[in-house]
Chains A and B, each alone.
Chain A
Amino acid sequence: MRMGDWYDRNAFWLLPSGAVIFILMLMIYPLGYTIYNSFTDWSLTHGDKVNFVGFRNYLDIFFRDDRFWGSVGRTIYFTGLAMVVEVILGVLIAVLFDAKDFSGKRVARSIMLMAMMATPVAVAMVWLLIFEPTAGVLNYLFKSSGLEALLGGKQLWITDSSSVIPSLVLIDIWEWTPLIALIVIAGLATLSREPYESAMVDGATPFQIFFRITLPMIAPTIGVAALLRLIDCLKTFDIIYVMTMGGPGYSSETLNIYTYQMSFQYFNFGYASALLVVFLCLVLGISLLVTYLRRGLEL
């Protein structure tokens, strides 16, 4: 009896305590540790001597490290390209799906879901085979259909530095457009039919209805979907690492890949820690900025 009362009074910290302890031990402490390390020159390849170097790592990153700036540029290139295509394509597919009821809708949705949930490493493997310059089906299709000219001589896909990022983006589009589509479909399903009916009574054309009614009403949903994608796009790792490891050269090395290489290829813990802090600030900064902008624009 008394014990139950004690539980009741202390539930507010007892209930989340497990999660909080986990967060403190495996998120907060490591984060602090990383920040601390970022001010040292700790490197496994230079023995165990660790010196405190102040802001030198950060200065190096911003003023001396071309590879860092290159990876920032590629991250933005990759994210921007993927986002634009995925949002437009996702919304279009959602609107198509919502427009009519047809048999097989469930199957079609399942297939999109499968693309998204399939193990990324396995997905990377099959795309490796598809992209294969000599035995791959993609080059064969272009060649046999006579559309080879469209490629502009870029049949090397991920093995050529100029086409590697668009090729990786194609996989990202394949994998993640369904997420945007599914979110927007769910958003469309919650819309009230009345504005449509009144617009049709008012004599609006389908295009007017789409741009004046549907789009404004699902804009917030699209925004959230895009934000989720943005956060994940910036962090894309599996596909890129498995397929190219950042290559050829550094031509597909995004920020995430670069920090990974610095950490686990070169074991340059001090410098990698500084990179991680910069990466973290960038991702959180962009995410919060976008969230803030969205609020400012519509709410």
Chain B
Amino acid sequence: MDTHPANAGPRPFLWHRTFMNILYYGTIVLCVFFFLLPLLWMLLNALKTPLQIVELPPKLFFMPTLANFENVFSSQNFLQYIYNSLIIAGGSTLLGLVLGLPAAFSIALHKQKKLAVFILVSRMVPGITFLLPLFIMFRNFRMVDTYTSLILSHLLVGLPFIVWVMVPFFESIPRDLMDAARVDGCNVFSTFIRIIIPISMPGVVTGGILSFIFSWNNFMFSIVLASNRTKTVPVAIFNFISYAQIDWGGLMAAAVTITVPVLVITILTQKYVIRGLTAGAVKG
């Protein structure tokens, strides 16, 4: 308001700005480190020998070793667990898209509010509410420890999520486009396959990636429904710590192994992942 050049010269102003800048970037760096350090710690310790891990003060510079990874992959059926995780995450994502995309399209096209609310409420329901009855059902059908039971249970998370991401996406497609397809001779199904899905690829990718990651990361369903044959990586890692002596190096190596694919996908598809996670919360 009062900007007399005499008492508000450029110098104090600059000093003030520099101080604010330091404060600003300092806070940002602090935040970033807070979120980065545990992941870095995981990687660092995966490359240490058991002795180095418990050594205090912790060494930041050391000769990295891949021994932990070798241990994990040789002593455990780790490759089998990764394969199981891939089958289950892939299967539930595929099935989630096959069931979820048409349902989301129908909700958007026919304004099926009730169905939408229904599927979305299921997103609020604690997973364990379904887990116990499903466990009993699968036990009766002798389906515990099969890919089918795990894929179906992971679908409980993936399907509502795909619908939740896709409904707003489909709603934003201009009505004219569907009318044009009808005039061109399409019925609802060919419109869906030949027009709607191709132009919704960003949404499909978003829903698919996140559904895959949720399934890959899933622990609760897997620990109940998976056993020797279908054990997924998170369950395998959890089983490590039930040993009397914790092998921290192996544990960290396993943790890195399971986390790296997720983080690579996340970074590569960052735009889609953020869009999917913030879907519904932010209206443009």
Asked if A and B touch directly (CB within 8 angstroms), the answer is yes
Binding site for B on A (CB under 8 A): 4-5, 7-8, 11-12, 15-16, 18-20, 22-23, 26-27, 29-31, 33-34, 37, 93, 96-97, 99-100, 102, 106-123, 125-130, 134-135, 137, 140, 144, 174, 178-179, 182-183, 186-187, 190, 203, 221, 224-225, 228, 231, 234-235, 237-238, 241-242, 256, 259-260, 263-264, 269, 272-273, 276, 279-280, 283-284, 287
Is A228 a contact of B187 with CB atoms below 8 Å? no
Q: Which residues of A contact B122 (CB under 8 A)?
A: 23, 27
Instruction: Determine the distance from Cα of A122 to Cα of B236 in the docked complex, in whole angstroms.
Output: 11
6 A-B residue pairings within 8 Å (CB atoms): A15-B109, A19-B100, A126-B39, A140-B58, A187-B282, A235-B126
Q: Is the interface of B mostly helix, strand, loop or mixed?
A: helix
| Cβ < 8 Å to A, chain B residues 242-258 | 248, 251-252, 254-256, 258
6 A-B pairs closest in CB distance: A30-B133, A122-B255, A15-B106, A19-B103, A11-B188, A16-B103
B234 within 8 A of A: yes
Instruction: Determine the distance from Cα of A171 to Cα of B136 in the docked complex, in whole angstroms.
Output: 33
Provide the B252-279 mask, 1 if CB < 8 A to any CB of A, else 0. Answer: 1011101100110011001001100110
Report how many residues on chain B are interfacial, defined by Cβ distance under 8 Å: 95
Q: Which residues of A contact B224 (CB under 8 A)?
A: 264
Q: Which residues of B contact A127 (CB under 8 A)?
A: 38
Instruction: Determine the distance from Cα of A279 to Cα of B277 in the docked complex, in whole angstroms.
Output: 25
Q: Which residues of B contact A129 (CB under 8 A)?
A: 41, 45, 53, 248, 251-252
Is A19 a contact of B126 with CB atoms below 8 Å? no
Instruction: Determine the distance from Cα of A125 to Cα of B267 in the docked complex, in whole angstroms.
Output: 22
Instruction: Determine the distance from Cα of A112 to Cα of B31 in the docked complex, in whole angstroms.
Output: 9
From B5-13, B22-30, B61-69, B70-78, the one touching the partner chain is B22-30
Q: Which residues of B contact A114 (CB under 8 A)?
A: 35-36, 39, 263, 266-267
Task: Please tell me which one of the listed residues B35, B57, B192, B234 contacts residue A115 in the complex, with CB atoms under 8 A apart.
Answer: B35
Q: Which residues of A contact B280 (CB under 8 A)?
A: 224
B34 within 8 A of A: yes
Instruction: Determine the distance from Cα of A122 to Cα of B219 in the docked complex, in whole angstroms.
Output: 11
Binding site for A on B (CB under 8 A): 1, 24-25, 27-28, 31-32, 34-36, 38-39, 41-42, 45, 53-54, 56-58, 98-100, 102-103, 105-107, 109-110, 112, 115, 118-119, 121-137, 152-153, 155-156, 159, 163, 187-190, 192, 213, 216-217, 219-220, 224, 233-234, 237-238, 241, 248, 251-252, 254-256, 258-259, 262-263, 266-267, 270, 273-274, 277-278, 280-284
Given contacts A7-B189, A231-B124, contact A125 B255 (CB under 8 A): yes
Is A111 a contact of B35 with CB atoms below 8 Å? yes
Q: Which residues of B contact A238 (CB under 8 A)?
A: 219-220
